[in-house]
Structure 1
Amino acid sequence: MFIAYVTVTIVAAVLTGSAAVAYLAGHSYPRAQLDMKRLPRSWAPVLGTVLAAGSSGLLAGIAVPLLGTLAAAGLVAYFVGAVVAHLRVGSRHLVGPAVFLAVSAAALVLSLDHHG
């Protein structure tokens, strides 16, 4: 079970870390997503920082289990919010946030199972 926990945690950290870099670097895709959801572009650095903290927390959680569990729970909440934001504006492009949500939820479940 440890191998599954570490593998899923690393995958989740890489996915959320890459999203964080896109937000923090000012890439056009996150800007377009903010515009589509009718959110201010000034939120991009904040959302990127939250994603970066979650990604870092997942990796740190391999050594400090409570931190990883809390980071995974925070990312699950973040991506539930992303799905809600899509639905709020009538967007049906839910594959992206659903994949991030599923991987974050898997990291949370495996963290809870592994660390009991």
Structure 2
Amino acid sequence: MFITYAILAALMSVVLLASASAKFTRPKRLVDQMSTLGLPYRMLPFLGVAQVAGAAGLIIGLWRGPLGIAAAVGLTLYFIGAVAAHLRAGDHKGAPPAGVLTIVAVVLIALRAATL
């Protein structure tokens, strides 16, 4: 199970870092989406930092199990918030990807907890 956690944590970290990069570079598509969701423009750096911290926590969690679990819990909450924001704004196309990432974060919690 540890190898499964390591692979899934690495893949999730790549996704998180790509998403964080977009939040820091602020492409028009992302800025428009945040506006549609009703999130202020100034939230983008905070969201990017949260994603970088989550990715780092998952990777460090390879050696420090409780930190990996804490990172996955934080990401679960982050993506639950993303799903809620999309649904509240009526963006039914944006909710499923955030929902999938929520599920992946929950699986990461279970995998890392099983390998402590």
Name the residue aligned to 1:95. Answer: 96
Question: How much is the aligned-residue C-alpha RMSD, in angstroms?
Answer: 1.2
Residue pairs, 1:1-116, within 5 angstroms: 1-93=1-93, 94-115=95-116
What is the distance in 2 between the residues matched to 1:96 and 1:24? Answer: 20
- Counterpart-to-counterpart distance in 2, 1:106 and 1:18: 21
For 2:112 and 2:29, the matched residues in 1 are separated by 31
Q: Which moved more, 1:8-17 or 1:27-36?
A: 27-36
Unaligned stretches of 5+ residues in structure 2: none
TM-score between the two structures when normalised by the length of structure 1: 0.92
TM-score, normalised to structure 2, is 0.92
Secondary structure of the 2:115 match is: helix
Letter in 2 for 1:2: F
- Aligned residue identity for 2:23: Y
The Cα of 1:72 is off from its aligned counterpart by 0.5
For residue 62 of structure 1, report the CA deviation from its aligned partner.
Answer: 0.5
* Structure 1 runs not aligned, ≥5 long: none
Paired residue total: 115
Deviations 1:78-101 (A, max 9, x none): 000000001111121122212221
